[in-house]
Amino acid sequence: MPVHPYRLAGEPVEIKAAENGEDLREFRAWWTAHANAGTLIGFDTETTGLAWTDRIRLAQFADANTAYVIPVELGWPFREAAIEALAALPNLVAPNLAFDALKVDNELGIRLEDLYPRAQGSRVAAHLLDSRHDYEGGAGLSLKPLSAWYVDPAAPDTQNDLTKVFNGLGLTKENGWARIELSHHVYELYAGLDALLVARLLPKLLERYRAEGLPGAAALRTPPRPGVRQAPAHRNADRPRVHRGPGRPARPGEGAVLRRGRALRRRLGEQPRPGGRRPARDGREADGEDRQRRPVGRQGGPAADGRP
């Protein structure tokens, strides 16, 4: 398995990129141990663009020291590995949870209602602390400025650095995400780094909540559930049904997100694409300096600027 070493906050970290069944078995053993322990796991996806119609290429998972990059674009064994991990891990954090949760629902079959109670978004947690962007004098809301503020001042700007790689390959910011090779070492490195950074970021944000005595810090924490949840039975080959575990108090804003997800699925379900798959909606909120939500577009339309 290719391993990309790096350093965050002066500490060595590793990004591992799965390539075969043996690598996936190692990944399964890793997340199983963390699921048993209730460890906070950073989760992120890399897609072919920023439109809802764009597909997932990579899914990455990380604790504070090790990341695994799973190339779901390569087919079922890799998709299944990501599905199993997402179905079982009880304590997840993502930098763009609203987008990633809906993409995972649409493509991997992990229902929004099942994933969201086990996941948190670093952007929401940061916004409740300070709603200002970095250029407005705050710590920022996207992963790069937040990581530079709370995790490591030298945290890489993965979006801008990858854009430079695209340019060197004769690609652009618009088509590079879809055309760069899955096994490109910089692509794998930065995909894993995003998961590592968000896994380190959320505890820092929660420390800030506690230090300032802010209400809602307890609501932002996801209580770990002991024991590994088995991968659920499949409704079909691509969409497994994941059963929601025991109830817990809703976090701020959770009900609105769930209602929005259900409404979105109902609307998309009324507009089937050829081939039977539901269409997706443009409008991912990018994880850059100041991202804008795009209007609904057609399959194959231009992707939004920025990067998840």
Which domains, ranges and CATH numbers included, belong to the chain?
3-222+237-269 (3.30.420.10)
Confidence band of 49 (pLDDT split at 50, 70, 90): confident
What local confidence, expressed as pLDDT, does residue 215 receive? 65
Q: Within 10 Å of residue 299's Cβ, how many Cβ atoms? A: 13
Give the confidence band of 137 by pLDDT, cuts at 50, 70, 90: confident
How many CB atoms lie under 10 A from the CB of residue 237?
Answer: 10
Distance between CA atoms of 301 and 286, rounded to whole angstroms?
17
Q: Where is average pLDDT lowest: 27-31, 209-213, 283-287?
A: 283-287
pLDDT of residue 163: 84
Look over the chain and give the mean of its residue pLDDT values, rounded to a whole number.
78
Q: What percent of the chain clears pLDDT 90, i.e. is strictly above it?
A: 49
Lowest-pLDDT choice from 22-26, 90-94, 301-305:
301-305
Using alpha carbons, select from 116, 84, 83 the residue that is nearest to residue 97. Answer: 116
Region 218-238 average pLDDT = 43
Q: Residue 92 pLDDT > 90, yes or no? A: yes
pLDDT reported for residue 51: 79
CA distance 49 to 204: 30
pLDDT of residue 255: 61
- pLDDT of residue 217 exceeding 70: no
Residue 298's pLDDT band, with cuts at 50, 70 and 90, is very low
Q: What is the pLDDT of residues 176-195, one digit of tens each?
A: 989 999 999 999 999 999 99
Residue, of 33 and 177, whose pLDDT is higher = 33
237-293 residue pLDDT tens: 344 434 344 444 445 455 666 666 666 666 666 444 444 444 444 444 444 444 344
Average pLDDT of 48-53? 82
Q: Is 72 left (phi over 0), alpha (psi -120 to 50) or beta?
A: alpha
Residues contacting residue 235 through CB under 8 Å, at least 6 positions apart = 109, 241
